[in-house]
Amino acid sequence: MPTNTDAQKLLIRWLYVCAAVVFLIVIVGGITRLTRSGLSIVEWKPVSGVIPPITETDWHTEFDKYKQTPEYRHINHAMSLDEFKNIFWWEFIHRILARLIGIVFFIPFVWFFFKRQIHKPLAIRLAFIFLLGGFQGFLGWYMVKSGLVKDPHVSHLRLMSHLMTAVLIYALILMTAWGLKTPARERGPSGGAWIVAVFAFLILASGALVAGLHAGKMYNTFPLMNGAFFPPGITWLEPGYTNLYDHPAVVQFIHRNLAYAFGFLILWQLWRERKRLTLLNPAVLLAAVYLLQVTLGVLTLLHAVPVSLGALHQTNALLLFTASLWMWAARRYRGLIPPVGPA
Query: Residue 131 is inside which H or E element, if any?
Result: helix 120-145
Q: Specify which residues 228 forms β-bridges with.
A: 225
Query: Does residue 343 share a domain with residue 261?
Result: yes
Q: CA-CA distance, 329 to 324, in Å (whole number)?
A: 9
Query: Does residue 135 share a domain with residue 284?
Result: no
DSSP string over 54-92: -SHHHHHHHHHHHTTSHHHHHT-TT--HHHHHHHHHHHH
Tell me the mean pLDDT in the region 105-128: 93
Query: Does residue 191 share a domain with residue 175?
Result: no
pTM listed for this prediction: 0.92
Which among 224, 281, 289 is positioned nearest to 253, based on CA atoms? 224
pLDDT of amino acid 4: 52
Query: Does residue 68 share a domain with residue 108?
Result: yes
pLDDT tens profile 256-287:
999 999 999 999 989 888 877 777 789 999 99
Query: Does residue 145 share a domain with residue 9?
Result: yes
Of the residues 125, 154, 181, the one at which a domain ends: 181
Query: Does residue 141 share a domain with residue 214?
Result: no
Name the average pLDDT for the chain: 91
Is the model's pLDDT at 327 over the cut of 70? yes
Query: Does residue 241 share a domain with residue 168?
Result: no
Q: Count the neighbouring beta carbons within 10 Å of the beta carbon of residue 127.
A: 13
Of the residues 121, 154, 181, the one at which a domain ends: 181
Q: CA-CA distance, 250 to 303, in Å (whole number)?
A: 20
Contact 342, 194 (CB under 8 A): no
Query: Does residue 336 share a domain with residue 223?
Result: yes
Number of domains in the chain: 2
Query: Does residue 74 share a domain with residue 109?
Result: yes
Domain of 242 in residue numbering reads as 185-343
Q: CA-CA distance, 117 to 7, in Å (whole number)?
A: 7
Of the residues 147, 181, 215, the one at which a domain ends: 181
pLDDT of amino acid 338: 53
pLDDT tens profile 6-44:
888 999 999 999 999 999 999 999 999 999 999 999 988
Query: Does residue 232 share a domain with residue 129?
Result: no
Query: Does residue 139 share a domain with residue 268?
Result: no
